[in-house]
């Protein structure tokens, strides 16, 4: 998505402000896995892998995608949503319409969040979401303030682990598409070494949050390799990381 100069400035200002500062204290390093939107494979393939390793993830659903195809990929169904919740995963909130915070007014952004919250509550036995993910990882100061009022935690984008003082209104999430988990080459721009980040999180007892969309042997440019997810979980366990949902990490 191409942003105007004004939108970029708005985003820059948004990133600068810590709305919900919190000092991170963890007993051990933690890995949180997020699936955004979410394509069906995140549940049909991802759910099976997560169960195999006995861990839970956070699924950020956009109501408008339910039972639809988006970017050529089949998206979650109502049954997927409920099954994921019943299996112990966290269902988080995106905007219903997958609106970017930089493309619509704050009022429209908030209405789309409200619509999504209702969509999720109706389908998940009244359970309201605690966590939010900014679509396209676009933030503005106004949207961060609005989200901080409504959710315990919001996830944005980052290139590393969450250390010491973190902002619960924009927790840094690493895009797995830029790591070896998605088959992204170390020679390409923006490459992030997920193994190094796992080591760092373990050694410093910090919080590594990652996100992706679909899972496949040959995923989309926004997705992750099926084996990449398994390798990630194996590495995390070997390093001694606990795998938790965002809700579990920020509880209390």
Helix (H) or strand (E) holding 239: helix 226-239
Q: Tokens for 122?
A: 């109706």
How near is the Cβ of 29 to Zn ion at its closest, in Å? 26
How near is the Cβ of 189 to Zn ion at its closest, in Å? 22
Asked if residue 36 binds Zn ion (CB under 5 A), the reply is: yes
Tell me whether residue 39 or residue 228 sits nearer to Zn ion (CB atom): 39
Contact between 181 and 196 (Cβ < 8 Å): no
Among 11, 32, 37, 95, binds Zn ion (CB under 5 A): 37
Tell me whether residue 135 or residue 219 sits nearer to Zn ion (CB atom): 135
Which of these ranges, 33-41, 121-129, 147-155, 169-177, lies near Zn ion under the rule CB under 5 A?
33-41
Asked if residue 199 binds Zn ion (CB under 5 A), the reply is: no
Q: Draw the binding track, 118-137, toward Zn ion (x: CB under 5 A; -: no contact).
A: -----------------x--
> Hey, how many other C-beta atoms are within 10 angstroms of the C-beta on 194?
24
Give the burial string for 212-224 (b: 16+ CB within 10 Å, else e).
bbbbeeebbebbb
How near is the Cβ of 137 to Zn ion at its closest, in Å? 8
Cα–Cα distances in Å, from 197 out to 73, 173, 189, 193, 227?
29, 12, 17, 6, 18
Residue 166 β-bridge partners: 22
Tell me whether residue 24 or residue 153 sits nearer to Zn ion (CB atom): 153
Q: How many residues bind Zn ion (CB under 5 A)?
A: 3
| Site residues for Zn ion per CB under 5 A | 36-37, 135
């Amino acid at each position: 998505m191409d942003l105007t100069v004004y939108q970029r400035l708005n985003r820059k200002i948004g990133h600068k402000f810590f709305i919900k500062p919190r000092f991170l204290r963890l007993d051990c390093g933690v890995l949180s896995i997020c699936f955004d939107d979410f394509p069906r494979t995140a549940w049909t393939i991802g759910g099976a892998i997560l169960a195999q390793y006995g861990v839970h993830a956070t699924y950020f659903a956009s109501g408008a995608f339910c039972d639809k195809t988006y970017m050529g990929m089949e998206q979650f169904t109502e049954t997927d949503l409920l099954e994921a919740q019943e299996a112990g995963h966290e269902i988080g909130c995106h905007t219903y319409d997958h609106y970017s915070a930089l493309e619509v007014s704050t009022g429209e952004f908030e209405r789309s969040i409200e619509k999504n919250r209702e969509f999720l509550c109706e389908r998940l036995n009244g359970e309201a979401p605690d966590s939010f993910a900014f679509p396209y990882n676009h933030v503005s100061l106004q949207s961060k303030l609005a989200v901080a009022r409504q959710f315990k935690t919001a996830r944005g984008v980052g290139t590393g682990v969450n250390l010491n003082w973190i902002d619960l209104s924009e927790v840094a999430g690493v895009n797995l598409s830029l790591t070896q988990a998605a088959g992204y080459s170390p020679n390409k721009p923006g490459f992030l070494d997920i193994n190094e980040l796992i080591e760092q999180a373990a050694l410093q007892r910090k919080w590594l949050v990652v996100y992706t969309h679909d899972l496949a042997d040959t995923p989309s440019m926004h997705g992750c390799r099926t084996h990449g997810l398994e390798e990630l979980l194996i590495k995390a366990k070997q390093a001694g990381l606990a795998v938790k949902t965002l809700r579990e990490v920020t509880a209390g």
